[in-house]
Structure 1
Amino acid sequence: MVFDPLSGSLWMEYAPGPARPALEGSVETEVAVVGGGIAGLCTAWELARAGHPVVLLEADRIATGVTGHTTAKLSALHGQVYADVKSVHGARAARLYAHSQQLAVERVAEVSEELGIDCDLERLPAYTYTEDPGQTDGLRAEADAALEAGLPASYLTTTSLPFPVAGAVRLEGQAQFHPRKYLLGLAADLERLGGRIYERTRVTRLKEGTPCEVTTERGDTVVARHVVVATHYPVFDRALLFTRLEPKRELVVAGPIPADRDPGGMFLTPDGGTRSVRTAPTGEEGRRMLIVTGEKFTPGTSEEGEVGERYARLEEWARERFGPLEITHRWATQDNWTTDRVPYVGRLHAGARHVYVATGFAGWGMSGGVMAGSLLAARIRGRDPAWTSLYDPVRLRPLREVPAMLRLQAQVAKHFVGDRTPGAYADSVADVGPGQGSVVRVGGRLLAVHRDEAGALHAVSARCTHLGCVVHFNDAETAWECPCHGSRFDVEGRVVEGPATRPLDREDVEDTRDGAD
């Protein structure tokens, strides 16, 4: 299908803020934070506010990666997490999870007021609902588990959605906001406090010790007592977290609706591959922007159809339930799921003394990232909040995690071996049409070949530079994606998203299509 990308993320239309320089040479600091999304910026700001020298390093521009493409819900109601956390970790762990996540919601409200950041913060209830009567028992159990965890949750059979539901969990006192407005305000205050931010600075190497040292792709270095790795998917593999993280990508569509059609809350259902709904201000009186998320899938896979077809399904769902809707924005977001449903925030690995990580927020990176910033700042300052062990990446619960780990590794092995077999891709470069991309076997090599709309070929190595899996083409985003660990590259091979830190090698290929020059 011909895919019209329209505008990208609604949040990315906001002014990017002042450009920060790239790191040049060597600098020293107390704490180096790698990654300029919500987890990294919140960690850096919390530390700077407490008087600690901080350097933040971002591979692109701050707040433009996953954080710039979120749906920006601030909530402690994370689908059906409480019944699961209680069953795996116990009732006390569920209470700690609830308390730490709700504190993160309140932290954003508190800080935005303190710093005068106008980030379109709106306090609204959050809902997890189902349209399937067969799924209501699970929601009743979730409402009970959330209530036991200390949240004012309730079970309902009606909501303010314009269509009937079979059951829903409701949690008051949650929030939605504009993530980039908030984080750019936080970054400005971080610099006012003496923190340094370097953009266009990709970190590729970490040397642990006393002190630690991080090195960029250009060979520049930061020497620091502590290092925080907040790159969404950790870019350093020594912790083997890639065996316990599952990347998932979700699509987002948005368009204006009359304000009287605003359902007045944040809504999530696991039905149909997940559907999430919220609204945002448009700046136009009487209008709101409807934002719908869903079609969750593993990057680099297309078992349920090409990505463009997924967007079409999501738009159809939105129009069926909310009426006529002109889609003005389409984008996608990505996050990582841990094997026990709880994020990894703490020591990078069992032997780490001064290196920390924040990852695995399972689609709830706004509250999770703020929580991570507070937790990591406290740990670096020598304090351990009550929920430290709950989020510690070093934890391992074999009864729950080992089966999930084995499933993940079986999926990786399938792609690692199966994707190299003959016959899985286009037979020749000539089979790749305008706007298309495919892996092609050329002279014994697997090449990722894209032909742009003008007919020009762009060929790169098809082997992901992370661990060597074969990339697949995303037709809607014109990108190469690794189905093993979620790394993403543009058609020229440049890294768009980690854990890969090195680009795909450019390759020369002869165009064998009839009529080619």
Structure 2
Amino acid sequence: MLAGTQESYWIESTAPTAYPRLAGDLDTDVVVIGGGIAGLCTAWELTQAGHRVALLEADRIATGVTGYTTAKLSVLHTLVYDRIRSSFDQVSARQYARSQQAAVDRVAEVAGRLGVDCELERLPAYTWAESEDTLEQVRAEADAAAAAGLPATFVTETGLPFPVAGAIRVDGQAQFHPRKYLLALADDLTRAGGRVFERTRATGLDEGETCTVTTEAGHTVTARHVVIATHYPVFDRALLFTRLEPRRELVVAAAIPAEQDPRGTFITPDHHTRSVRTAPYRAGERLLIVTGEHFTPGSGDAAEHWQRLADWTRERFPDARIVYRWATQDNSTTDRIPFIGRFHPGADNVYVATGFGGWGMSSGVLSGQLLAALIGGDAPEWAGLYDPRRLGLLREAGSMLKLQAGVAGHFVGDRVRSSHVDTIDDIAPGSGAVVRIRGQQCAAYRDAAGEVHARSARCTHLGCIVSFNEAETAWECPCHGSRFDVDGAVLQGPAISPLPPFE
């Protein structure tokens, strides 16, 4: 039995929102699609700049990927600066460092201005090594981060309760409660005239001098500019799905005595990634939040990965009492730099923010700053670094070929691969499987009462075959990361349509 309540602490510790659905057609200056950190920060920044803004969220704001984050605000993104220096250049590494640090500082500035109690704590960030191979990478990263202008130092001591071989330290970073911050932004932007619509899924987009967004209910929003901030873009015309790799990652959160707080944010690429931070919790306690065990959606045993993460947490923090566990999902670009800017080469008025590679807090805030500047006609110096229209064949070719080979393997192989069950009768209560019926693949789930929920097994994005994640009770597409509940409803895109019933 896995320990902890299966829910995000950030969501459990804040009140639910109740913004209205879009109930009719609307005209505005900018429509932002997506109510996570990138969408909310963009909408807020644009409202501050005097634009009329409408934000459309398919579910509730700050409950998707943003609601299940680790919520570190850091410019130290594991081992990024040495890679940027090598695959781009030194100027690009400096631009990345300046833009990400500006995003960290922006949260502190805005939280202070609005008087938001979002549990913001300024702390050092560390990337640590335990193995000799990783130690050399960490040394190189410390040098590259310092060359990029960060106050980075190589150290051998940290606040962690176990020895490390070495670590990079960068001061002036932060951790916070993301929903407390973002719900305050939503309140402020609506007071300033912005509009937020929940349970309003965007399903169509017509581009032009004036753009039109169509919703699932058939209503339209016309706007001069459109921002797609749906985590994974829900419109395919830019073909970004060929350059985005989805990744699922697990989280456990444990209560520890306050005096055992390591006082920092930490990450290591060792042990299949381990990320550590804390948050205020109950009297005399801190909430230790540990992340890791990443895998492609639809291809990992989440229960097994959660158990490994829990075991590691208890081994390294013996007094830890696991109280929550949850999962999150992110996408990495093929060159590991986010896509923030104009959606495709022909786009004049449509923008996108995606591919944050596990660092959505700083990159989401950065998206708001950068997109508001682009729409206002004042691009910062680092706009070109994040431009989605860039394509470095030498940098991206290997990653793109590997990514597309994996997609092709699932697209073809999953159609002929045998299931672990032969018939629906073989599916136990609380389990799901893909079963071939009359030559067609059926995604069948049997609930605790014995009732079978049968849907088409073809993902409504591009037709890959879904697989069942038993630990999270969801159907997942291994090609591009779309997720559906047992009745076919979309949990995460890029799919925008539910899995149809299997007759």
TM-score above 0.5, yes or no = yes
Q: Deviations over 1:459-482 (max 9, x none)?
A: 111000000000011111100000
1:137 deviation in Å? 1.1
1:395 deviation in Å? 0.2
Say whether the 8 Å CA contact 2:138–2:167 is kept in structure 1: yes
Gaps of 5+ in 2: none
CA distance, structure 2, for counterparts of residue 426 and residue 274 of structure 1: 33
Alignment map for 1:235-254 (pairs within 5 Å)? 235-254=234-253
Shift >6 Å, 4+ stretches: none
Say whether the 8 Å CA contact 1:3–1:476 is kept in structure 2: no
CA distance, structure 1, for counterparts of residue 117 and residue 133 of structure 2: 42
CA distance, structure 2, for counterparts of residue 206 and residue 397 of structure 1: 28
Does 1:382 find its partner at 2:377? Answer: yes
Corresponding residue number in structure 1 for 2:190: 191
Say whether the 8 Å CA contact 2:238–2:344 is kept in structure 1: yes
Corresponding residue number in structure 2 for 1:291: 289
Corresponding residue number in structure 1 for 2:462: 467
1:158 deviation in Å? 1.9
Stretch of structure 1 that moved more, 245-254 or 419-428? 419-428
Corresponding residue number in structure 1 for 2:254: 255
1:5 deviation in Å? 6.5
Q: Deviations over 1:344-385 (max 9, x none)?
A: 000100000000000000000000000010000000000110
Aligned residue for 1:506, secondary structure, equals coil
Does 1:433 find its partner at 2:428? Answer: yes
1:360 pairs with one of 355, 360, 366:
355
CA distance, structure 2, for counterparts of residue 327 and residue 434 of structure 1: 27
Q: Look up the equivalent residue of 1:65 and give its one-letter code.
A: G
1:324 deviation in Å? 3.2
CA distance, structure 2, for counterparts of residue 109 and residue 4 of structure 1: 34
CA distance, structure 2, for counterparts of residue 38 and residue 369 of structure 1: 5
Q: Deviations over 1:73-106 (max 9, x none)?
A: 0000000000001111100000000000000000
Corresponding residue number in structure 1 for 2:272: 273
Corresponding residue number in structure 1 for 2:209: 210
1:248 deviation in Å? 0.3
Q: Deviations over 1:187-233 (max 9, x none)?
A: 00000110001000000110000100000111111000000000000
Corresponding residue number in structure 2 for 1:82: 81
Count of equivalent residues: 503
CA distance, structure 1, for counterparts of residue 5 and residue 42 of structure 2: 34
Stretch of structure 1 that moved more, 317-326 or 166-175? 317-326
Corresponding residue number in structure 2 for 1:142: 141
CA distance, structure 2, for counterparts of residue 492 and residue 5 of structure 1: 26
Say whether the 8 Å CA contact 2:3–2:322 is kept in structure 1: no
Q: Look up the equivalent residue of 2:145 and give its one-letter code.
A: A
Q: Deviations over 1:245-267 (max 9, x none)?
A: 00001000011110111111111
Say whether the 8 Å CA contact 1:244–1:338 is kept in structure 2: yes
Aligned residue for 1:41, secondary structure, equals helix
CA distance, structure 2, for counterparts of residue 412 and residue 383 of structure 1: 38
Aligned residue for 2:415, secondary structure, equals coil
Does 1:301 find its partner at 2:299? Answer: yes
1:391 pairs with one of 386, 395, 398:
386
Does 1:502 find its partner at 2:497? Answer: yes
Say whether the 8 Å CA contact 2:4–2:323 is kept in structure 1: no
Corresponding residue number in structure 2 for 1:228: 227
TM-score, normalization: structure 2? 0.99
Corresponding residue number in structure 2 for 1:201: 200
1:29 deviation in Å? 0.3
CA distance, structure 2, for counterparts of residue 212 and residue 61 of structure 1: 24
Give the RMSD, CA atoms, in angstroms: 1.0
1:145 deviation in Å? 0.4
Corresponding residue number in structure 1 for 2:173: 174
Q: Look up the equivalent residue of 2:48 and give its one-letter code.
A: R
Question: Cα distance 1:99–1:422, how it changes in 2: closer, same or farther (>3 A)?
Answer: closer
Q: Look up the equivalent residue of 2:474 and give its one-letter code.
A: A
Gaps of 5+ in 1: 509-517
Say whether the 8 Å CA contact 1:133–1:167 is kept in structure 2: no
Aligned residue for 1:327, secondary structure, equals strand
1:18 deviation in Å? 4.1
Q: Deviations over 1:261-285 (max 9, x none)?
A: 1111111010111110000001x22
Corresponding residue number in structure 2 for 1:513: none
1:3 deviation in Å? 5.1
Q: Look up the equivalent residue of 1:15 and give its one-letter code.
A: T
Q: Look up the equivalent residue of 1:311 and give its one-letter code.
A: W
Aligned residue for 1:412, secondary structure, equals helix
1:53 deviation in Å? 0.4
Corresponding residue number in structure 2 for 1:124: 123
Corresponding residue number in structure 2 for 1:53: 52
Question: Cα distance 1:17–1:454, how it changes in 2: closer, same or farther (>3 A)?
Answer: closer
Corresponding residue number in structure 2 for 1:320: 315
Corresponding residue number in structure 1 for 2:20: 21
Aligned residue for 2:416, secondary structure, equals coil
1:36 deviation in Å? 0.4
TM-score, normalization: structure 1? 0.96
CA distance, structure 2, for counterparts of residue 470 and residue 3 of structure 1: 28
1:452 deviation in Å? 1.4
Q: Look up the equivalent residue of 2:59 and give its one-letter code.
A: D
Corresponding residue number in structure 2 for 1:67: 66
Alignment map for 1:389-468 (pairs within 5 Å)? 389-468=384-463
Does 1:489 find its partner at 2:484? Answer: yes
Aligned residue for 1:308, secondary structure, equals helix
Q: Look up the equivalent residue of 1:109 and give its one-letter code.
A: A
Corresponding residue number in structure 1 for 2:336: 341
CA distance, structure 1, for counterparts of residue 82 and residue 156 of structure 2: 19
Q: Look up the equivalent residue of 1:313 and give its one-letter code.
A: R
% of aligned pairs identical? 63
1:326 deviation in Å? 2.1
